[in-house]
Amino acid sequence: MNRGLICGLLVAACLLALPYRSPAPLIYTPGEGWTYEPVGGQGSWKRARAKDQLVVAQDAFDKKDFSLALKAARRVVKAWPLSDYAPQAQYLVGRCYENKRLDERAFKEYQKLLEKYPKSINCEEVLKRQYEIANRFLAGEWFRLWTYIPLFPSMEKTAGLFERIVRNGPYSDVAPLAQMKIGEAREKQSDYPAAAKAYERAADRYNDRPTIAADAFYREGMAYYRQVRTAEYDQGTAGQAIATFIDFTTLFPDDPRVAQAQKTITELKTEQARGNFEIARYYQKNRKWNGALVYYNEVLLRDPNSPYATRARERIDAIKKRLQPAGK
């Protein structure tokens, strides 16, 4: 039998099995969309004025009836978008989705409030709520498909949420924290160059906030340091890490992390010496004497007190003797 015919018969059977009257019919209202209504109560929550409709939404929200509150608040926004009550209604839409644990949708609804009603008295609180939502995704909450279907956590999307918060209010109370969280999200991706850049922006933009600036400098240095640990012979990144830690120790000498930063600088210089020593050995092995001398001398410049420096001096002397003209 034709597969399409079988599917059609199954659908028809399901429809026939349904009761004649649905206990919660689906109602479509032009300009408002689809809503579910209980039998006998169709439209009982609707009001003729924006103010009264908002009262319905707020009362339902206070009673934790978030489905009704969401319907009533969305009707205010759609039917009276320019009224004085629309901003509060849009805020309630976001709150309803947040209470339903649909964080991504809540974030988007809060974003609509900030974009459509930038002078709303709730804007600072909305930014804080967006920040809290983004933090939950940073902690591993899953993003969803079509609002309801859980997919997977994503640090790429999470970083995007924090970036949006910074753009929404670059000098708000949560913006410096959000900028730092961008770096954290990038570190969770092991994208250390992007993390370092995010921390660098935080240090530059919020240099008038010592706590943020100090933390940004230190974390930027650590991001470069972690990149060095994953990249062989990445001397440029090691140099960036050292320079950042030096800036940190100079600008914030009383920070309790200064000792660790100095220890890391020493480790990085030793790592630089080791990298140059290995490159010099490669040149020496291939009888490229001048190249070997250049990199053995770099070892002495990077960390003259390291074990690599002692070995580099010995090899420099041996190469110079080899290059010395006979009879001299």
Q: pLDDT digit string (tens) for 213-254?
A: 999 999 999 999 999 888 655 678 989 999 999 999 999 999
3-class DSSP state of 286: coil
Number of domain units in the chain: 4
Q: Would residue 101 be called left, alpha or beta, if left means φ above 0 and alpha means ψ between -120 and 50 degrees?
A: left
Cα separation, 299 vs 211, in Å, equals 36
* Assigned domain for 206 exists: yes
* Pair (80, 26) in one structural domain: yes
Is residue 143 domain-resident?
Answer: yes
- Is 110 inside any structural domain? no
For residues 196 and 224, the answer to whether their CB atoms sit within 8 Å is yes
Which pLDDT does position 20 carry in this prediction? 40
Residue whose C-alpha is closest to residue 240's, from 260, 264, 274: 264
What are 40-67's pLDDT values in tens digits? 445 689 999 999 999 999 999 999 999 9
Burial of 232 (0-12, 13-18, 19+ CB in 10 A): exposed
Same domain, 206 and 247: yes
| Same domain flag for 132 and 171 | yes
Other C-beta atoms closer than 10 Å to the C-beta of 226 total 17
Is 213 within the bounds of a domain? yes
pLDDT digit string (tens) for the chain, length 328 residues: 455 545 455 545 544 444 444 444 555 555 445 555 555 445 689 999 999 999 999 999 999 999 999 999 999 999 999 999 999 999 999 999 999 999 999 999 999 999 999 988 889 999 999 999 999 999 999 999 998 999 999 999 999 999 999 999 999 999 999 999 999 999 999 999 999 999 999 999 999 999 999 999 999 999 999 998 886 556 789 899 999 999 999 999 999 999 999 999 999 988 888 888 999 999 999 999 999 999 899 888 888 888 888 898 989 989 988 888 755 5
Residue 135 lies in a domain: yes
Residue 106 lies inside a defined structural domain of this protein: no
179 in Cβ contact with 205 (< 8 Å): yes
Range of the domain at 132: 117-182
Question: In the listed set 35, 65, 100, which residue is the last one of a domain according to the structure?
Answer: 100
d(CA 289, CA 285): 9
Residue 311 lies in a domain: yes
Residue 129 contacts residue 94 (beta carbons within 8 Å)? yes
209 and 177 fall within a common domain: no
Domain boundary among 149, 182, 215: 182
Q: Are residues 95 and 32 part of one domain?
A: yes
- 89 and 29 share one domain: yes
Last residue in a domain, options 182, 210, 228: 182
**Co-location of 85 and 30 in the same domain:** yes
C-alpha triplet 312, 318, 321: angle, nearest 5°: 140
Residue 8 lies in a domain: no
